[in-house]
Amino acid sequence: MGAISLKYKSKSGNLTAPGDVDPGAMIPIATISVGAGGASSIDFTSIPSVYQHLQIRAIARSNRASASDSMKMTFNSDTTNNYAFHYLYGDGSTAVGDGTANYSSIALLEAAGNNATSGIFGASIVDILDYSNTSKYKTTRNLGGDDRNGSGLVSLTSGLWQNTNAITTISIIPFTGTSFLQYSHFALYGIKRAGA
């Protein structure tokens, strides 16, 4: 069994008395806020490899002529069929589990569409653990949803990128619409490991 007996470490790496803990494992990397002209793609580039995990926090609305849309996510400009995704969602009356293998992107649920009441956006938190580990394919986990005051959807979605390369770029586009609308907001965070 692997066991970790926990002691505090100072920033210099020496063992110290309790209380001398290096705070702040979740570090902002980049933020993209969509302006009045919309954005066809959200691109995080030159992602440093110094963190253990990545997390994206987003609110999104697309120009799809519907109440809802989803999003597509790809890594390192790879748009070949190296991805799979699966989802569990509930819409207030029905639960659905489904997925797709050998696909060109990972689907993220949910974004609001242009026919949703003004001011409504879908919300998502996407976790990408061990994003720079070159011995592992990359798994994503997305908790998301939107409530439209009478309709909506909540989901837990997973994704797989069958590539062991470290993730250096992330691109997100609407699944059906052609652009994200103003006030959509995407924030990328790095999460450190202990000892880093």
Partner 1 sequence: MAYTYSKIATYTVGSGGIPSVSFLNIPQTYTDLLVKVSARTDRATGSASDFSFIFNNSTTGYTDRYVYGNGSGTGSGSNAYTNQGFAGNITQATMTASTFGSVDIYIPNYASANYKSISTDATTENNATLTYNMPVATLWSNTSPITSITLQSASGGNLVQYSTFHLYGIKAEL
Contacts of 83 (CB under 8 A, 6+ apart): 74, 102, 103, 104, 105, 106, 159, 160, 161, 162
Kindly tell me which of 161 and 180 has the beta carbon lying closer to partner 1.
161
Residues 49, 77, 80, 193: which binds partner 1 (CB under 8 A)?
193
Q: Which range binds partner 1 by CB under 8 A, 36-44, 87-95, 115-123, 167-175?
A: 87-95
| Binding letters toward partner 1, positions 99-138, x by CB under 8 A | x-xx------------------------x-xx--x-xxx-
- Restricted to residues 17-46, the positions that interact with partner 1 (CB under 8 A) are 18-19, 21-27
Residue linked to tokens 């589990």: 97
Distance of CA 86 to the CA centre of its chain: 14
Q: How many CA atoms lie within 13 A of 194 on its CB side?
A: 7
98 binds partner 1 (CB under 8 A): yes
| Binding letters toward partner 1, positions 49-68, x by CB under 8 A | ---xx---------------
- What is the smallest separation between the CB atom of 24 and partner 1, expressed in angstroms? 5
- What is the smallest separation between the CB atom of 177 and partner 1, expressed in angstroms? 24
String of DSSP letters for 57-73:
EEEEBB--SSSEEEEEE
- What is the smallest separation between the CB atom of 48 and partner 1, expressed in angstroms? 17
Reported residue count of the chain is 196
171 binds partner 1 (CB under 8 A): no
SS3 sequence of 112-177: ECCCCCCCCCEEEEEEEECCCCCCCCEEEEEEEEEECCCCEEEEEEEEEECCCCCCCCEEEEECCC
**Three-state secondary structure call for residue 48:** coil
Residues 29, 120, 123, 143: which binds partner 1 (CB under 8 A)?
143
**Which residues contact partner 1 by CB under 8 A?**
1-8, 18-19, 21-27, 52-53, 84, 86-89, 95-99, 101-102, 127, 129-130, 133, 135-137, 139-141, 143, 156-160, 162, 164, 191-196
